[in-house]
C-alpha cells in the first residue's frame, strides 16, 4: 500500500502530511466509500501501526 501511494506521488511524498497518507491508506483498504468499511480499515491500520511500533516514544 505504501509503495502504491509512493508511486502515485514519487517526487514529493515527504511534503504530504501524515494525516493525508493515513487517509490514503484507509481509502486504499476500503473497497467502497462506506463508513463501516472505513471503520474496519482504520481498525486494521491502527493495529498494524501499534504492532509495528513505528512511532517514536512520546517525550
Longest dimension (CA), the chain: 38
**Is 11 among the domain residues?**
yes
Helix ranges (DSSP H) in the chain: 2-8, 18-29, 35-52
**Is 58 among the domain residues?**
no
**Is 25 among the domain residues?**
yes
**Is 23 among the domain residues?**
yes
pTM of the predicted protein model: 0.60
Total structural domains within the chain: 1
Q: Which domain holds residue 22?
A: 2-52
Which tens digit of pLDDT belongs to each residue from 19-57? Answer: 887 888 888 888 888 999 999 999 988 887 776 655 556
Neighbours of 25 (CB within 10 A): 20
Cell reading at 21:
497518507
Residue 29 CA: distances (Å) to CA of 5, 43, 52, 59: 12, 11, 18, 32
Amino acid at each position: 500500500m505504501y509503495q502504491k501511494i509512493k508511486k502515485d506521488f514519487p517526487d514529493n511524498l515527504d511534503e504530504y502530511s501524515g494525516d493525508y497518507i493515513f487517509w490514503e491508506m484507509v481509502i486504499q483498504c476500503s473497497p467502497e466509500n462506506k463508513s463501516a468499511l472505513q471503520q474496519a480499515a482504520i481498525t486494521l491500520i491502527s493495529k498494524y501501526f501499534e504492532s509495528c511500533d513505528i512511532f517514536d516514544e512520546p517525550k
